[in-house]
Structure 1
Amino acid sequence: MASRRSVLIGLGSLVAGGGALLGTGAFTTVTAERPVHFDGAVRDTRVYQREQLPAAGSFTGPAIVEGAESTVVVRPEQSVQVDEYGSLIVEVQS
């Protein structure tokens, strides 16, 4: 059985004061969909704007989160939670 670990990706201060919908858990902020290669296969991949992600929301990969300072690639087997500060917590399977 594969083990799982979480990775915290900060920059929460950018999101917490932005236009996030607090506590909804719903993501309606997909700005695009792109074909991306994962493990030799092309997958349609949702693209989110980091500053628009709602606090307390979650989603699963594949996804790309684009922000002012960084880009986060979420693989198909990973899941993401956004905490109350806007930090991304990526659940990584190892």
Structure 2
Amino acid sequence: SINTRNDLIEGQVSRINPMVQNGNIEVEVTLPKSLPASARPELNIEGKVSIDKLSSALFIDKPVGAKPYSEATLYLVDKEKQQARAIQVHYGAETSQHI
């Protein structure tokens, strides 16, 4: 979705530039034929690309060495009892910061 600061416009990714520049990847988006009045040439916008949607998913900050779709032992902390116990977890998909 494209945020013009006044409206959100849904688009479709039409091209992904294979080159990374300053940690960014350029993406071309095909927009609908009818655009809101807030969409103008040379407008600074913000975009969000959604690749997939997971419902009822839990996620955590990615532990060092965590691999997607694998199993691991983590420690679940009970703050009231001031105890930690080992639990077996099954990782799913990952992002750059979460799993």
TM range (shorter): under 0.3
TM-score calculated relative to the size of structure 1: 0.25
Structure with bigger strand share is: 1
User: TM-score, normalised to structure 2's length?
Assistant: 0.24
Structure with bigger helix share is 1
Which structure ranks higher in relative contact order (CA pairs < 8 Å, sequence separation ≥ 6)?
A: 1
